[in-house]
Copies of this chain bind each other. A is one copy, B any other.
């Protein structure tokens, strides 16, 4: 398995080396980063390393979507409401200029203090949140704005009203809208990429993960509670289903890893933002070179190919 990942990365490295559209400084940074990723994959992460990623992904000082927006976007304008029922603060959306380009952005948003956490529902969106996301995706499509999504949620909210308002259908339809878009799309998992609530906004041309983010079908605790019948076995569960970025890259689920400041993104929001911004801009630069007619077909083919058969 590591061999496939190695081949993918080496392939990407060689492509990058020969590419002159990437700007000088960033290109060398990119090369450096990919080489580091390669080293890391060659040395398979230990169970402890995986668990430390889970903790970093959930670190309470970790930058959230709006921390990045504030640092990366000029002329940011937040858009509110689903035009039907409400405005879900667990998912923010808006438009702004990213390196001179008008970009639409959709991202989960956790709260920093107790009051905001509750207001943001710990980043767990209701269907209303996903409907706001779809609405803003359609604005992006109409005006040809590239779409960036930032994923950071323990999962879509599991509540009575959320079910009554159609949580499952909203997540399905949000993915369907992303599968239909003709504009370039880049998703980045910036913290917790929890299950359906995450993938709802992650059906993108390029899917990135920050170095210490996690992306998983279920939370380690949920998995432990079900498969081990003991939520305390969460470290064992995490080790078993490997939600870390290196493994997601290996499995072909993501297209690249965005480096974080030493010690994790919470150590310097500014530096984390700089690195994320560069990765997003590079990804959009690359996608700009794909003929528009091919973009969507490629995106669908990429997801069509996911999975491993015997």
Contacts and interface: CB of A to CB of B under 8 A. Distances in A.
Classify the secondary structure of A's interface with B.
loop
Contacts of A131: 84
A169 B165 CA distance: 19
A15 interface: no
A127 interface: yes
A115 interface: no
Number of copies: 2
A165 B86 CA distance: 9
A166 interface: yes
Interface centre among A84, A165, A166, A173 (most CB of B within 10 A): A84
A85 B131 CA distance: 12
Interface in A107-155: 127, 131
Contacts of A173: 83
A125 to B, nearest CB: 15
B83 A85 contact: no
Contact count band on A: under 10
Interface string A162-178: 00011001000100000
Contacts of A83: 166, 169, 173
A255 to B, nearest CB: 30
A197 to B, nearest CB: 18
Interface in A83-112: 83-85
Contacts of A85: 84-85, 165
A169 B81 CA distance: 12
A230 to B, nearest CB: 38
A167 to B, nearest CB: 11
11 contacts: A83-B166, A83-B169, A83-B173, A84-B84, A84-B85, A84-B127, A84-B131, A84-B165, A84-B166, A85-B85, A85-B165
Given A84-B127, A84-B166, 5 more contacts: A83-B173, A84-B84, A84-B85, A84-B131, A84-B165
